[in-house]
Amino acid sequence: MKDRIHFPIDELSSAREIFWSNDNRVPWAEAEPGLSFHAADIEDAELRLRRFAPLIRRLFPETEESGGIIESELRDIPAAADALGLPSGTRLLIKLDSELPIAGSVKARGGIYEVLKHTEELALESGLLRPDSGPEEYEALADHRDFFGTYSVQVGSTGNLGLSIGIMSAAIGYRAVVHMSADAKQWKKDLLRSKGAEVIEYEGDYASAVAEGRRLSEADPKSYFVDDESSSSLYLGYSVAGGRLADQLEKVGISVDSAHKLAVYIPCGVGGAPGGICFGLKERFGDDVVVCFIEPVQAPCMLLGLASGKMNDICVQDIGLSGKTEADGLAVPRCSGLVSREMSQVLDACCTVRDDRLRGYMRLLRESSGIVIEPSSCAALRPLTMLAGKGSPVSADELRSMTHVIWATGGGLMPPEVVEEYLEKA
Ligand SMILES: *Cc1c(COP(=O)(O)O)cnc(C)c1O
C-alpha cells in the first residue's frame, strides 16, 4: 500500500512534523449542500440542550450560574502571543473548554449531549416525558434513578470521553460502563470509579477498546453504546460550539469577515470534537473561518484519511506508525468515517506535532497566562509556533489581520500532582 500513495503520506510515515493544506477543499457555499447535516440540525441540538438545562442545573450545582447551560470562557492571552513570538498586535484568544463544567474537557459538549438525547428518547417512550413537556418535567427526570438504573450506557475511550459519558450517565442513574484503552491515564480511571462508573481496562489501543465495548453493549438490549467512531449525536453536540463562540466574539467586539478572518486551532483524535466544532463554525462564518486540526506525529489518523482519500479505510499502522503518543486524548489510529467524509471538502488544514513539544507548550501557557491544560490539548499551539517562526507561510500583516483562537480541549480535572509531574519533565 505504501508505494501507491504519495505526498504527504511519505512524510507522514517518517513521523516528521508536517503542515497540510487540504487540496480537496471547495468554497463553503459549494460544499454545504452536499453535507449530511445543516444549520437546522445544529439548532435542534441547541434546543435540546436548553430543554435539559433545568435537569443539568439540578444534577450539577456548578452550572447554577449559567442556568444549566454548559459553556466555557473565551479569554484573551496577549502574553502567550508574545511568548510564542507572534508579530506584536496579533490577537490571540483561548477557548477554555478545558474548564467546561462536569467533565473538564471538550467532551462535556458532545458526550453529555448524546447521553441527554438518549435519555429523552427513553423518557418519551416510557411516558416520563411527553412531546410538550416543560422545564419542571425535564428537571423531575432526576427523580427516576430507579427507572434509568435498569439501562446501561457504555463507551470506549482514551479517557476524556469516558469521563464525560461516565459522569453524566451515572448522575442520571444509568449503569455506566467505560472501556478504557491502554493509553488512558490512571487518574482518569480513578476519578470515574469515584463517580460510580465501572471501568474496564484493556491492553490494546483505542480502536480495540471501542470494538470490545461495542460488542458487549450489543449483546444487551438494555444497553446503549456511544460510538465515537460514527456518532452523529456526538458530532452535533459539538457543533453547537460554533454559534456559541460566534456570540462570544461579538460580545467582545471582534468582527469576522473576509478581510478579518478567524483562525481556529483544534487538537484532533478520532475527529468528532474538532469536526463538529469546525462544522458549527463554518455554518456561522463560511469561508471567513479557517480551521486547522492538530494531531501527534505517531497518530495522524485524520490527516492520513483525508490526504489519502481513504478516510476510515486506512489506519496509521498501515503506513508504519505506532499510534502511540503521550497525548492520550489524541491516541487514535483510525479516524471517524462520518467525520472524515463531512470534513473532506470543508476543513482547511491539518498539521502534526511531536510529543516532546507538548510539555514546553504547557509550561509556556502557565507561565505567560496562568492557564493549565493537559498535554493533548497543548497540541493546539503547534501551528502558531510555525506561523510565528522563520519561513512562515503567512506574512506578519496577514497574521495581524486575523483573530486566532486556540481550542483548549481538556485538563480542568487534572489533579495538581499530575500537573506538577508533567511540568517537572518539561
Ligand atoms: C477527545 C479529545 C480531543 C479530540 O477529540 P476527538 O473527538 O477524539 O477528535 C482533543 N483533546 C482532548 C484533550 C480530548 O480529550
| Residue closest by Cα to atom 1 of ligand 1 | 329
Look at residue 3 in the predicted model and tell me its pLDDT: 43
pLDDT over 80 (residue 4): no
Residue 356 and residue 349: Cα distance in Å, rounded? 22
Q: Which atom of ligand 1 lies nearest, measured to the CA of 271? A: 9
Look at residue 6 in the predicted model and tell me its pLDDT: 56
Overall average pLDDT of the 1-28 stretch: 82
Residues 6+ apart with CB under 8 A from 273: 106, 107, 109, 110, 234, 238, 266, 409
Tell me: the pLDDT tens digits for 145-157?
999 999 999 999 8
Look at residue 158 in the predicted model and tell me its pLDDT: 84
Share above pLDDT 90 across residues of the chain, in percent, rounded to a whole number: 90
Its pTM stands at: 0.96
How does the average pLDDT of the chain come out, rounded?
Answer: 95
136 CA from centroid of ligand 1 (Å): 34
pLDDT band at 2 (very low <50, low <70, confident <90, very high): very low
Count the neighbouring beta carbons within 10 Å of the beta carbon of residue 299. 31
Look at residue 7 in the predicted model and tell me its pLDDT: 65
Look at residue 67 in the predicted model and tell me its pLDDT: 97
Task: Look at residues 55, 344, 328, 63 and name the one whose alpha carbon lies nearest to residue 187.
Answer: 328
pLDDT over 60 (residue 114): yes
Substitution site in 95, 98, 160, 227 for ligand 1 pocket (most atoms within 8 Å of beta carbon): 160
* Burial class for 29, CB neighbours closer than 10 Å (0-12, 13-18, 19+): exposed
Q: Any idea which architecture 109-233 has in CATH?
A: 3-Layer(aba) Sandwich (3.40)
First to last CA, the chain: 38
Residue 339 and residue 337: Cα distance in Å, rounded? 6
Tell me: the pLDDT tens digits for 243-296?
999 999 999 999 999 999 999 999 999 999 999 999 999 999 999 999 999 999
Domain boundaries along the sequence of the chain: 9-103+235-424, 109-233
Beta-strand relationship, 74-76 and 91-96: antiparallel
Helix (H, G, I), strand (E, B) or coil at 95: strand
Tell me: the pLDDT tens digits for 339-369?
999 999 999 999 999 999 999 999 999 999 9
| Residue closest by Cα to atom 13 of ligand 1 | 410
Look at residue 391 in the predicted model and tell me its pLDDT: 84
- Please give the CATH topology (third level) of the domain spanning 9-103+235-424: Rossmann fold (3.40.50)
185 CA from centroid of ligand 1 (Å): 14
Residue 307: all three cell numbers together: 490526504
Ligand 1-lining residues (CB < 6 angstroms): 105-107, 160-161, 267-274, 329-330, 332, 374, 376-377, 409-410
* Burial class for 328, CB neighbours closer than 10 Å (0-12, 13-18, 19+): buried
Q: What is the CA radius of gyration of the chain?
A: 20
| Two domains, one topology: 9-103+235-424 and 109-233 | yes
Overall average pLDDT of the 190-217 stretch: 91
Helix (H, G, I), strand (E, B) or coil at 260: strand
Tell me: the pLDDT tens digits for 316-341?
999 999 999 999 999 999 999 999 99
